[in-house]
Structure 1
Amino acid sequence: MKAVALTTFGGPEVLTLSDVAAPQAGPGQVRVRVRVAGVQHFDARIRRGWTPPYLGAVEPPVVPGNEFAGVVDQVGEGVTGLEAGAEVLGFTTLGCYAEYVVAPAAQVVRKPAGMPWQIAGGFSGNGQGAHMALRELGVGPGDTVLIHAAAGALGTFSVQLAKAWGATTVIGTASEENHAYLRSIGAVPVTYGDGLVERVRALAPQGVDAAMDNAGPDALRASVELVKDRNRIRTMVSDEAAQELGVPPLTPARSATRLQELADLYAQGQIELHIRAAHPLERAADAHRALETGHGRGKIVLTVAD
């Protein structure tokens, strides 16, 4: 099959299309013919040589990508509730930048009717990341929540989930060109950069109850100034700064139950996802270059099959 496989770590240019052996579904697994794979900062960090602490050593060759949508074409022994031909979305840790991916059936849910493939392929990773963080923060009715980098895919999910769970005010940082977009999804926009703490205090004189950092160490430090309880701060990108500042780490806990809840919210019209760009699989390097600019709104995906 065709896949984007890393033979060495480095910049986006190391993402090259290769011929690799197609995986086969084992017991408890399904194989999915991938239609669309999402692109995440997690993938870019893997590409640069980072290894998540729960994964162990990652050595080339490796196929990146940890979210996908497509059609089941093999069903392993012991799998029930899914059949060949089922349209699904799901997650793995690696392997999604490919024509086929194998995943445990417990990491796959059916694609909601009417959900476009591009949205389905970019739904699981950032959606679950936002869900995990906001649940750990205890976001709920009456809260004022600060979301950094709110116009990106992770921020988009975070804003909408906070609103769906009853937050009174959601403040989102973004460049001015993305302020109208943030208003359209229910956030109060604020420009990031020097003076951010003062601007947020002006918007929320009653204080900020919880904050989620998707931007970097400066945003995390601003959150510590604004939120009294550091247990109600999480970061997706600033692990070293979090340790330094006494901010608890996020506990990874992706699950089909979590993904199904998000899919149901989408079907109910409470979550929408803007697709920023869709690149063909062979242009994965361009997708990573766009991702790493740190600007733009919504989600970048790879189209693998029609």
Structure 2
Amino acid sequence: MRAVGVTEFGGPEALHLVDVPAEPLGPGQVRVRVTAATVNPTDTYSRNGTYAGRDPVKEPPFVPGMDVAGVLAEIGEGVQTDLEVGAHVMGIVVPSGAHGGYREDIVLPVGSIARVPAGASDVAASTLPMNGLTARLALDKMALRPGQVLAVTGAAGAFGGYVVQLAKTEGLTVVADAAEADEDLVRELGADVVVRRGDDVAARIREQFPDGVDGLADGSVQDAAVLPAVKDGGAVTTVRGYRGDGQRDLRVFPVLVREYAQEGAALDRLRAQVEAGELTLRVAQTFPAADGAEAHRRLEAGGVRGRLVLTF
């Protein structure tokens, strides 16, 4: 079984093709023949060893990857699903050891997959599960009401872009940051107000909303620097574990997508929202799986809009 992984942690050059055993299919699980696996920033931490201490598996190879799409190849005992063998599906992966998205065959809980949106390729669909579910979880944690104001940093990124689009479907007013080159993109995603990104983005948001915003999704990982944008008692979601400074009664929620890794209904809802035109799937570039190292180099060089995808 081919996969792209590391036998020693390191830079992009550490990624290479590895042979991994096929995973057994258990009750409640499905087997997916992977045709596309998205490259996300979190994958670089799996590759360089940052997450090594969290992984219960201690022996290489380690295969990154949290998003896949492909063909449903096998359905395990006791699975209740309207999906059929041969259907094109997308799924979210919680990586551990050789169990990661960068492999040509993977076994997942049935709650981790959904049908590929109608009219979407496997490549495009593979960009949705992890970032889409993270955005969904962030909004669910904040529980804002229609008419309230949400700020989004990193709005041109995959997570931030999905937050903007989902928030607009729920009647929120969205203020988002963007570099000059990304302003049109962020407006097209649906932001009502766009401010220039940078170290002073909290002040720029306050210029537009002097009383502060009701909620903030911090996709650009600015942590304490953006808290001043939020009104007392407001809600903040973070994506790298930041828990706030304990001041002003802010409600800070670190968002870990593993919480939604088997929320099949939520993933299927995202599928329906793509089909309804409410969410946009953005692919920046594809790479053959064997060129995984080059994909990681491209990601770490910065400036990618949309997602890089490995193809099998």
TM-score (norm 2): 0.88
Equivalent position SS for 2:130: helix
- Of 101, 105, 115, the residue aligned with 2:106 is 101
2:189 counterpart letter in structure 1: I
Structure 2 residue 272 is matched with structure 1 residue 267: no
Deviation at 1:293, TM superposition (A): 3.3
Q: Is residue 14–residue 293 contact of structure 2 (8 Å, CA) maintained in 1?
A: yes
Equivalent position SS for 1:253: helix
Q: How many residues align?
A: 299
Deviation at 1:242, TM superposition (A): 3.0
Q: Which residues in structure 2 correspond to 1:1-306 (within 5 Å)?
A: 1-51=1-51, 56=56, 59-81=59-81, 82-94=83-95, 95-168=100-173, 170-187=174-191, 188-216=193-221, 219-229=222-232, 232-237=235-240, 239=241, 241-242=242-243, 244=245, 247-250=252-255, 252-254=258-260, 255-304=263-312
1:83 counterpart letter in structure 2: E
1:33 counterpart letter in structure 2: R
In structure 2, what is the Cα distance between the partners aligned to 1:2 and 1:236?
31
Deviation at 1:150, TM superposition (A): 0.7
Gap change, CA 1:204 and 1:105, over 3 Å in 2: same
Give the gaps of 5 or more residues in structure 1: none
Deviation at 1:158, TM superposition (A): 0.8
Gap change, CA 1:143 and 1:222, over 3 Å in 2: farther
Report Cα offsets for 1:222-280 as digits up to 9, x if no partner: 3211112466001113x3x5355563322542111111111111111111122112222
Write 1 or 2 for the structure with the bigger share of strand: 2
Report Cα offsets for 1:166-186 as digits up to 9, x if no partner: 102x12222211111111111
Q: Is residue 63–residue 101 contact of structure 2 (8 Å, CA) maintained in 1?
A: yes
Q: Is residue 127–residue 282 contact of structure 2 (8 Å, CA) maintained in 1?
A: no
In structure 1, what is the Cα distance between the partners aligned to 2:6 and 2:67?
17
Q: Which segment is superposed worse, 243-252 or 87-96?
A: 243-252
Equivalent position SS for 1:205: coil
Deviation at 1:135, TM superposition (A): 1.0
Gap change, CA 1:59 and 1:231, over 3 Å in 2: farther
Deviation at 1:290, TM superposition (A): 2.3
Q: Is residue 279–residue 302 contact of structure 1 (8 Å, CA) maintained in 2?
A: yes
In structure 2, what is the Cα distance between the partners aligned to 1:236 and 1:52?
19
Deviation at 1:191, TM superposition (A): 1.8
2:165 counterpart letter in structure 1: Q
Deviation at 1:197, TM superposition (A): 2.4
Deviation at 1:76, TM superposition (A): 1.7
Gap change, CA 1:143 and 1:114, over 3 Å in 2: same
Deviation at 1:152, TM superposition (A): 0.9
Q: Which segment is superposed worse, 188-197 or 120-129?
A: 188-197
Gap change, CA 1:52 and 1:5, over 3 Å in 2: closer
Deviation at 1:57, TM superposition (A): 5.3
Q: Is residue 12–residue 296 contact of structure 2 (8 Å, CA) maintained in 1?
A: yes
Equivalent position SS for 1:228: strand
Give the gaps of 5 or more residues in structure 2: none
In structure 2, what is the Cα distance between the partners aligned to 1:62 and 1:300?
20
In structure 1, what is the Cα distance between the partners aligned to 2:182 and 2:190?
13
Q: Which segment is superposed worse, 43-52 or 267-276?
A: 43-52
In structure 1, what is the Cα distance between the partners aligned to 2:161 and 2:147?
20
Gap change, CA 1:292 and 1:140, over 3 Å in 2: farther
Deviation at 1:303, TM superposition (A): 1.6
TM-score (norm 1): 0.90
Equivalent position SS for 2:295: helix
Identity of aligned residues (%): 39
CA RMSD across the alignment: 2.1
